[in-house]
């Protein structure tokens, strides 16, 4: 079983839509759960992270962790064309492993 699994998309939505991005992970020992955003031809950058279970909100973005089902989600409200990027989840600590990323396009 892979450490992190993620639907690679691509996902295409109209501007203003609510977007849901999801990952599953295998190691129940993980405590920190990150989302990175990567624009084309750039390195990934941290978008937000959560510790253990629960929700965290930052502007239009909400990260959600369900440790019982080993499932993490990122919700984007009122999506904008500038949100068009690849979104990567990260769930390990030392040997940092990423999911394959979900490519998102927000169409004006």
Task: Please give the residue ranges that form the binding site for another protein (CB under 8 A).
Answer: 6, 8, 32, 34, 36, 42-46, 49, 51, 86, 88, 90, 93-101, 103
Nearer to another protein, 12 or 78 (CB): 12
CB closer to another protein out of 62 and 92: 92
At its nearest, how many Å lie between another protein and the CB of residue 48?
Answer: 10
Our CB check for another protein shows the closer of 3 and 73 to be 3
For residue 82, the minimal CB distance to another protein (Å) is: 19
Smallest separation (angstroms) from another protein to the CB of 62: 18
Residue whose CB is less far from another protein, 20 or 38: 38
Residue 67 has a CB neighbour count (10 Å cut-off) of 15
Alpha carbons 10 and 34: distance in angstroms, whole number:
20
Q: Confirm if 88 and 42 have CB atoms less than 8 A apart.
A: no
What distance in Å separates the CA atoms of residue 60 and residue 17, rounded to the nearest whole number? 11
């Amino acid at each position: 079983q892979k450490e992190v699994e993620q639907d690679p998309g691509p996902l295409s939505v109209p501007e203003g839509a609510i977007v849901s991005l999801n990952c599953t992970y295998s190691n129940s020992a993980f405590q920190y759960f990150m989302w990175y955003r990567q624009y084309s031809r750039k390195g990934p950058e941290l978008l937000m992270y959560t510790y253990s279970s629960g929700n965290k909100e930052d502007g239009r973005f909400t990260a959600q962790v369900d440790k019982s089902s080993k499932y993490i989600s990122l919700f984007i409200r009122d999506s904008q064309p500038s949100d068009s990027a690849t979104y990567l989840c990260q769930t390990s600590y030392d040997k940092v492993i990423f999911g394959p990323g979900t490519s998102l396009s927000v169409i004006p």
